[in-house]
Amino acid sequence: MIFLRNSIIVVILCIYHLYADNILSNEALTPETLPKLPKEIGDAVPDISEREISPNTTINLNNDSINSNNASAKNVTIKFVNCLPNLGSEQVELVNDTHLIQILTPDPNITAKDTPAKCVMVMFYSNIGTFSSMAAPHFNALPRAFPDIKMAAINTVMFHLFNTQNGIVGIPSLILFHNGKAVAKFSDPEYTLELFSKFIRRHTAIEPKEKSIVTSADFAGPVISSPSKHTDVFLVMSWVFVIFCAIYYFMKSSWWIWILETVQNNWREAEDQAEHLHDD
């Protein structure tokens, strides 16, 4: 009885599937039966509401709008800073913290980069650093190439007020300021007059003067081109601190306790032996 019931159910299911496949193969697709497309694709699909679509109909999507969006995203306009003319100096000016604060004092009436304002190029260097000495003559030649931009240099070892504020983690570091605000930082691994000029032109659109080269006078200063040989006080203090900490933590260790106990035991044994010899 159970076998007969299962056989009838299988026959009914087979007839149902054959009938459903026949209906789907003969039914024409209409716009009402099509699935809804997303809005971004639907806007690019041609109007198909007034004609019947067969299963072999091909829909061509228009990618002009998508391509135009990608093109507009790539065409990003670089905004240059606007520098006031004739505010530079004949040579690099060596400054300290106080003087650099005065030079970088902003004008409160200027709030945009495209507003003409004073531009300053600052080199953060060290007079004991090899890389600073290599970059020095090229930076000394910049005032002749860009007379509209003031060139200044500050010794970060002696005057370190601006180090944290401007993210100075390595020296030399060159930063371009517009109206007292940092707008760009030189990040090239090489320090040459050509790369310095490209960096300034990229952010200010100011062309360097023709025949701007590094001369023998640029090696003499203002920024020195040879590392000075003097004792670094901060380095000495650092080593003293490291040695003091090493001794302190060693005296707290088990090794120090073992050495101390060994010396004390040997000393007591030596005293005991000396007393026995004296008694004899």
- pLDDT digits 0-9 by tens, 126-149: 888 788 889 999 999 999 999 989
Instruction: Confirm whether 260 is domain-assigned.
Output: no
What is the percent of the chain where pLDDT is above 90? 23
- What is the domain extent for residue 167? 93-219
Average of pLDDT values for 77-103? 85
Question: Which has more confidence, 233 or 96?
Answer: 96
Average of pLDDT values for 43-61? 42
Instruction: Confirm whether 20 is domain-assigned.
Output: yes
* Same domain (yes/no): 107, 63: no
pLDDT at residue 10 in the model: 58
Q: Which of 201, 219, 237 is the last residue of a domain?
A: 219
Instruction: Confirm whether 123 is domain-assigned.
Output: yes
Q: Would the pLDDT of 11 be above 70?
A: no
pLDDT at residue 260 in the model: 86
Residue whose C-alpha is closest to residue 52's, from 33, 30, 26, 35:
30
pLDDT at residue 50 in the model: 40
Instruction: Confirm whether 249 is domain-assigned.
Output: no
| Count of CB atoms situated within 10 Å of the CB of 220 | 14
By three-state DSSP, how is residue 61 classified? coil
Q: Would the pLDDT of 194 be above 80?
A: yes
Q: In this predicted structure, which of 28-32, 139-143, 179-183 has the lowest mean pLDDT?
A: 28-32
Instruction: Confirm whether 256 is domain-assigned.
Output: no
Q: Would the pLDDT of 232 be above 90?
A: no
CA distance 132 to 137: 10
Count of domains for the chain: 2
Q: Which two tokens stand for residue 50?
A: 């007034």
Out of 27-31, 64-68, 151-155, 187-191, give the one with best mean pLDDT: 151-155
What is the percent of the chain where pLDDT is above 70? 69
* Same domain (yes/no): 142, 210: yes
